[in-house]
Amino acid sequence: MCNSKEQTMMRIHAACLLLGGLAATTIAAPTASAAPDCSPAGVQNTVNSATGSARQYLDAHPDANAAVTDAFTRPRPEASATLRTYFTAHPQEYYDLRGILAPIGDTERQCNTTALSPELESAYHEFMAG
Containing structural domain, residue 114: 38-129
Any domain includes 71:
yes
Any domain includes 18:
no
pTM for this model (two decimals): 0.69
Any domain includes 54:
yes
Any domain includes 15:
no
Burial of residue 52, with CB atoms counted within 10 A of its CB: 0-12 exposed, 13-18 middle, 19 or more buried: middle
- Please tell me the total count of domains within the chain: 1
Task: Give pLDDT, residue 126.
Answer: 64
CB atoms within 10 A of CB 84: 18
User: How many CA atoms are closer than 13 Å to the CA of 110, on its beta-carbon side?
Assistant: 16
How much is the CA Rg of the chain, to the nearest whole Å? 14
Any domain includes 17:
no
Per-residue pLDDT of the chain (130 residues; tens, 9 = 90+): 555 555 545 555 555 544 443 333 233 334 456 778 999 999 999 999 999 999 999 999 999 999 988 877 888 778 777 878 898 899 999 999 999 999 999 999 999 999 998 867 866 776 777 6
Any domain includes 16:
no
Any domain includes 43:
yes
